[in-house]
Amino acid sequence: MPANEAPNLSVRWEVLKASEGAVLLTFRGDLDTSATPTVWQALEKELLGIEVSSLEIDAQHLAYCDSSGLALLYYLYTGRMTPGATVRISGLSPELQNILGSFSLDDFKALQGHHPVPRSLPVEVGAATTSLLRDLREQLEFIGEVTMDLAASVCRPRLMRWKEVFRVFEVAGVNALPIVALITMLVGMVIAFESAQPLEELGAQIMVAKLLGLVMTRELGPVMAAIMLAARSGSAFAAELGTMKVNEELNALQTMGLAPIQFLVVQRVMAGILLTPVLTMYAMYAGLLGGVPVLLFVCKFPLPMVLEEIQGSVQYGDLAEGLCKSLVFGTIVASVSCLRGLQTGVGPRAVGDSTTRSVVSSILLIILADGLIASITYTLRR
């Protein structure tokens, strides 16, 4: 038979009957995604009217072949177009031959004729509710196990791997100081600028110093430090544990008799609890440092007056409130990030999904916890 060429495609194929029942199929050019569907349909028509006992596929002259082209070669190799015939492929490079060996007929059968069926609204709502309840149960079980292991480590300090705690403290805490300082200084500056003009209209522009001190110690210091910890370090916790799960390293730990939570999670939670108050104190001072220049050079207040107003507005109770919030936020960030890492599924997107879920869940829980604590402290202060 003459050589065939698909229109506007750089691929040619030729079907030759060498002897009784023996057929030689030769490919030339590029067998890629754009050419494969045309070649596939044409070969099905050509081979349908031929009695084939043996099929020799010559791929030596293929300049390029992607996964779709390999799928066609595998379909031919398994005799799907020539039932009962003996099929042999020659001329493939070792790399393509290895990839072809990874193809499975079961995968093709599973995907053939598969069309996703749209689900109704009640089914979607039920599935979402079931997933939410399942996740809530996993969170409660995780909290209980982490709490028990933390209590055991506090009672018996030798159970805690303190070197790992200090390593996480340095990576997640000390290395985060520059970005925490930059963000909180800018936030303090913005608060000072935005509040200066309205308070000037009331003749109380000096109250900017008191506002800055209270906001940074009670709210924005702990919240900004926790959000930066969730975005920078919590995501790293989730990605690290998720990668270990995908690589089956967690299963290896269990095989060796080591509990992943005791061996990996407890250290990160302890480091999160210890480092968040330090980051919070740092964020408080950085926020004040960002707002003070506005009071000095824009509002034209002398430095002693500004420092006196800040010192007079901030009490020990305000500082204690911010530090207590930071302990709660640190526990939330470390625990949720580790949980999302342990919940990592399979597939190339699993680690990325876990990382995203850890950051979103951590920030959401931080805001919820902050609102709850703020309502409690407001009631107690009345």
Q: Answer with the residue of higher pLDDT: 97 or 289.
A: 289
How far apart CA 147 and CA 125 sit, in angstroms, is 33
What's the chain's average pLDDT? 86
DSSP classification of residue 232: I
Band of residue 52 on the pLDDT scale cut at 50, 70, 90 = confident
Max Cα distance, the chain (Å): 105
What is the residue whose two structure tokens read 């004729």?
113
Out of 3.30.750.24, 3.20.20.70, 3.30.460.10, 3.90.79.10, select the CATH number for domain 4-111: 3.30.750.24
Phi, then psi, of 100 in degrees rounded to 5: -60, -35
Three-state SS letters, 4-64: EECCCCCEEEEEEEEECCEEEEEEEEEECCCCHHHHHHHHHHHHHCCCCCEEEEEEEEEEE
Classify each residue of 30-46 as buried b or exposed e, where b means 16 or more C-beta atoms within 10 Å of its C-beta: bbbeebbeebbeebeeb
Pairing of strands 22-31, 86-90: unpaired
Report whether pLDDT(342) > 50: yes
Residue ranges of the domains in the chain? 4-111, 140-381
Q: What is the pLDDT of residues 4-20, one digit of tens each?
A: 655 566 788 888 887 77
Find the mean pLDDT for residues 121-139. 89
Which residue, among 381, 343, 379, 340, has the nearest Cα to 359 in the 3D structure?
340
Q: What is the pLDDT of residues 244-277, one digit of tens each?
A: 988 888 888 888 888 888 888 999 999 999 999 9
pTM above 0.75, yes or no: no
| pLDDT attached to residue 116 | 61
Lowest mean pLDDT of 102-116, 141-155, 239-253, name the range.
Answer: 102-116
- Structure token digits, residue 40: 């596939």
